[in-house]
Amino acid sequence: MRTLHIRSWHSLTQRSRATFAALSVRNYRLFFIGQGISLSGTWMQTVAQGWLVLQLSGSATQVGFVIAVQFLPLLFVTPIGGIIADRFPKRRILLITQSLFTVVQLCLGLVVVFNVVELWMVYCLALLFGLINAVDNPTRQAFVSELVDRKLIKNAITLNATENNLGRAIGPSIGAIVIATLGIGFCFLANALSTLAVIYSLSRMNTRSIRTPSTHANFHPVRNIAEGFHYVRKTPLLREILIMAVIIGTFSYEFQISLPALAKFAFSADASSYSQLWVAFGIGSVAGGLLAAGRKSASVAILVRSAILFGISMLAVAIMPTLFFSVLGMFLVGFFAINFTSLANTMLQLEASDEYRGRVMSLWTMAMLGSTPIGGPIIGAIAEQFGARWGLAVGGVAAVIAGLFTIAPKFRSERLLAIPAFIKTNIFRIGAEEEAKLR
């Protein structure tokens, strides 16, 4: 019995080390801590902004339009952000973008606290936030691969995604308390303060340990953007993952619109109940992320299965009769969502060459976030015209379609041939049946 106990403890220790392996790297550890604090503030602001727009307008469609304006730059400006990420030192870029975030968030907090906020101000500040994010997001994602060795990239990316969803659980909880006690404006002020943690962590990094790739000698935006699109188009694995991301990002990842509508109109709930949906999603994502971070093997099949199960779980939440069961369902939504996003992000970064990684991640940002200006108003209008539940249901159907698209027979051989050689190692493995098809 004692031997069994020792073996179980040894196995648990090994599993924990594998799950948090990337945190052994000092620069990544600093980045992880700073991001964790900032992300909690970001999700506080997400809850506060959605509720603020509902208070000012009383319209789910208006919530969708504000989100659309915020994410519009991610659709049109992110390719430029990707070029900047490939051309200039990423740490320096992030120091600038995070400082600008602080200013914008501070302005939004002050106009709300002093009760001079109007809807057009929210639109303007959301647009500024989106412009900064169009540069920050692809740079931040590509920066991870410069902080750790190649063998730790999968673990680092999954931990990042897990951390984002931990913030999704913590941020709304704190946000609901702040809204109830201090008011909406203090959520924005808290977010401005949280951004300082990222600036501090970046300033404390050992720059000599950052694996900075060679940059382009020439900076030609149009040509560089065209090169990035051409590179993705001729690389089937990258192309198909990004197509999946476009479908899911446009219609499924519109929770900023669908969840407040579900809470307010389907269950006649308040901001506290709305935050419970976010918290459940975040907790599910953390559980799924920790499981994925410790996994040494994965496959395209897992990516497809995660997308389909993500969609099915959204459909289940859409038909739940009470808020309690919807909260439970959002746990599963978060669990499967992070499995899809973390694995897709990892495969993109490992497949992309150093000189194109910033532009590839800018396309990922466009697909998952930049598509919101298209999907946001659509989901908002559907929720308003046909009922809040339909907003989630459409997203669920879209995720299932994305998964089915990827397993279509006409794409199978091309996709498998595109899988890089490292998938056969301990980082990624494919099944024996698929391995035979490669020969």
- With H, G, I as helix, E, B as strand and everything else as coil, classify residue 404: helix
For 374, the token pair is 């298209």
Residue 22 and residue 150 in contact, taking contact as beta carbons nearer than 8 Å: no
Residue 104 and residue 125 in contact, taking contact as beta carbons nearer than 8 Å: yes
Q: How far apart are CA 63 and CA 66, in angstroms?
A: 5
pLDDT score recorded for residue 106: 93
**CB-neighbour burial class of residue 227 (10 A; exposed 0-12, middle 13-18, buried 19+):** middle
Quickly state the pLDDT bin for 408 (edges 50, 70, 90).
low
Amino acid identity for residue 404 in this structure: L
With 90 as the cut, is the pLDDT of residue 204 above it? yes
Residue 119 domain-assigned (yes or no): yes
Give long-range contacts, CB 8 A cutoff, 24+ apart: 95-100.
Answer: 95/199, 95/202, 95/203, 97/132, 97/133, 97/135, 97/136, 97/139, 98/38, 98/136, 98/195, 98/198, 98/199, 98/202, 99/199, 100/132
With 90 as the cut, is the pLDDT of residue 34 above it? yes
Residue 25 domain-assigned (yes or no): yes
CA 394 to chain CA mean position, Å: 20
Burial 255-273 (b: 16+ CB within 10 A, else e): bbbbbbbbbbbbbebebeb
- Please name which of 246, 207, 262 lies closest in space to residue 374, comparing C-alpha atoms: 246
pLDDT score recorded for residue 418: 39
- With H, G, I as helix, E, B as strand and everything else as coil, classify residue 359: helix
Q: How far apart are CA 425 and CA 143, in angstroms?
A: 24
Residue 169 domain-assigned (yes or no): yes
pLDDT score recorded for residue 3: 55
CA dihedral 40, 129, 350, 235 (to 10 degrees): 150
In 182-220, which residue ranges form alpha helices assigned H by DSSP? Answer: 185-203
Residue 221 domain-assigned (yes or no): no
pLDDT score recorded for residue 225: 83
Residue 380 domain-assigned (yes or no): yes
* Claim: this prediction has a pTM higher than 0.95: no
Q: How far apart are CA 224 and CA 88, in angstroms?
A: 14
Quickly state the pLDDT bin for 94 (edges 50, 70, 90).
very high
pLDDT score recorded for residue 78: 86
Quickly state the pLDDT bin for 1 (edges 50, 70, 90).
low
Q: How far apart are CA 105 and CA 110, in angstroms?
A: 9
pLDDT score recorded for residue 77: 87
Burial 145-184 (b: 16+ CB within 10 A, else e): bbbbeeebbbbbbbbbbbbbbbbbbbbbbbbbebbeeeeb
pLDDT score recorded for residue 6: 52
Mean pLDDT on 99-125:
93
With 90 as the cut, is the pLDDT of residue 212 above it? no
> Which domain does 372 fall in, by range?
21-206+228-438
Residue 341 domain-assigned (yes or no): yes
Q: Which residue has the higher pLDDT, 207 or 406?
A: 207
With 90 as the cut, is the pLDDT of residue 64 above it? no
pLDDT in tens, 242-297: 999 999 999 998 887 888 888 878 887 776 777 788 788 878 877 887 777 666 65
Q: Where are the beta strands (DSSP E) in 165-302?
A: none
- Please name which of 10, 301, 293, 277 lies closest in space to residue 162, comparing C-alpha atoms: 293
Residue 52 domain-assigned (yes or no): yes
For 183, the token pair is 């008011």
Number of separate domains in the chain:
1
pLDDT score recorded for residue 136: 93
Cα–Cα distances in angstroms (integers) from residue 436 to residues 74, 329, 410, 427, in the given order = 40, 38, 18, 19
pLDDT score recorded for residue 23: 87
Q: How many CA atoms lie within 13 A of 101 on its CB side?
A: 30
Quickly state the pLDDT bin for 430 (edges 50, 70, 90).
very low
Q: How many residues does the chain have?
A: 439
The CATH number of the domain where 31 resides is what?
Answer: 1.20.1250.20
Residue 83 domain-assigned (yes or no): yes
pLDDT score recorded for residue 314: 94
pLDDT in tens, 230-239: 898 888 888 8
Cα–Cα distances in angstroms (integers) from residue 125 to residues 78, 312, 327, 377, in the given order = 18, 35, 31, 18
387's torsion region: left (phi>0), alpha (psi -120 to 50) or beta? left
Mean pLDDT on 100-122:
92
Q: How far apart are CA 281 and CA 220, in angstroms?
A: 41
Q: How far apart are CA 171 and CA 141, in angstroms?
A: 21
Tally of CB atoms within 10 A around 220: 11
